[in-house]
Amino acid sequence: MPHPGHGWTPKGQPATQPHEYLRSGTCKILTLFHPATGRVRIRSTVRCTNPVLHGWLKEELTAIATASPVSASAVDEETTRAVWRAWQDGLMERFSLPDTLPPLRVLLVWDNLAGHKSADMVIWLCEHGIMPLYTPLGGSWLNMAESIQRILKRRALDGHHPGTPAEIGVWFEQTAQAWNRAPTPFVWNGKRRRRRKWSGDRHVVGGSAAYTQSPLSKRCTLSP
């Protein structure tokens, strides 16, 4: 009889894999995740160089920043700069803020890679009211995008055998569309929050320091 879990097989009929494996390429999934709403933006590609990733991010972040309201506290240049500097307090490595800063609209958390710290990219982010915050070296688990990628991968690929990278990308995009119809918000579950008293249920999300207030279903129904 079937039981809840990743999979099951009848006794004497073990799960089998295709008789041959043909590596026809890899698929990269560009991911931008908003923990407060649970919504995810992805794009599949066969190459994930800095020009590809940064070009896609600029498109998505421009739309997000444009739709984000300006803080009522950002009424003058001095107050605006103080808001930006507040997010650099406690950082061991800080980049120099431009002389002219727009109101802060978005916080962007991403990996601590050299390409992400390029002067052109950082200046572009600041000009659009986006503050980059970098995870420490070896601290990718602090990035909640790691968790949503794991969830989408499990739902899109477990038990299936795609034949091409394009097929993987299509399945990921379909799974992300289904996820966004009823997204689950993620909440930070760092050491400071864990020290506080907590009432109610919480469900740890594998892959990052996050949790959800409702369990995540392991199944996903897709429809065109």
Residue 155 lies in a domain: yes
Of 106, 107, 101, 105, the residue nearest 79 (C-alpha): 101
For residues 131 and 123, give the distance between their C-alpha atoms in angstroms, rounded to a whole number: 10
Residue of higher predicted confidence among 60 and 206: 60
User: Rounded mean pLDDT of 190-199?
Assistant: 54
117-167 pLDDT, tens digit per residue, is 999 999 999 999 999 999 888 777 778 888 899 899 989 988 788 888 999
Domain count, the chain: 1
Of 5, 3, 1, the residue nearest 159 (C-alpha): 5
Q: Is the pLDDT of residue 200 over 60?
A: no
For residues 65 and 99, give the distance between their C-alpha atoms in angstroms, rounded to a whole number: 20
Residue 2 lies in a domain: no
Residue 110 lies in a domain: yes
pLDDT of residue 163: 84
Residue 80 lies in a domain: no
Q: CA–CA distance from 162 to each of 21, 177, 181, 183 (Å)?
A: 11, 19, 24, 25
Residue of higher predicted confidence among 4 and 99: 99
Residue of higher predicted confidence among 28 and 210: 28
pLDDT of residue 40: 96
153-167 pLDDT, tens digit per residue, is 989 988 788 888 999
Residue 3 lies in a domain: no
Helical packing angle, 119-127 and 50-67, nearest 10°: 10
pLDDT of residue 128: 92
Residue 9 lies in a domain: no
For residues 119 and 95, give the distance between their C-alpha atoms in angstroms, rounded to a whole number: 9
**Residue type, position 142, single letter:** L
Residue 73 lies in a domain: no
For residues 209 and 143, give the distance between their C-alpha atoms in angstroms, rounded to a whole number: 8
Residue of higher predicted confidence among 23 and 79: 79
pLDDT of residue 15: 75
**CATH (domain of 34):** 3.30.420.10
Range of the domain at 134: 24-67+86-224
19-75 pLDDT, tens digit per residue, is 676 778 889 999 999 999 999 999 999 999 999 999 999 999 999 988 877 765 556
**Cβ–Cβ < 8 Å for 1, 19:** no
Please give the model's pTM, rounded to 2 decimal places: 0.77
Residue 18 lies in a domain: no
Burial 84-101 (b: 16+ CB within 10 A, else e): beeeeeeeeeeeeeeeeb
In percent, how much of the chain has pLDDT > 70?
77
Residue of higher predicted confidence among 182 and 93: 182
pLDDT band at 224; cut points 50, 70, 90: very low
Of 25, 37, 18, 62, the residue nearest 179 (C-alpha): 37
Q: Is the pLDDT of residue 215 over 60?
A: yes
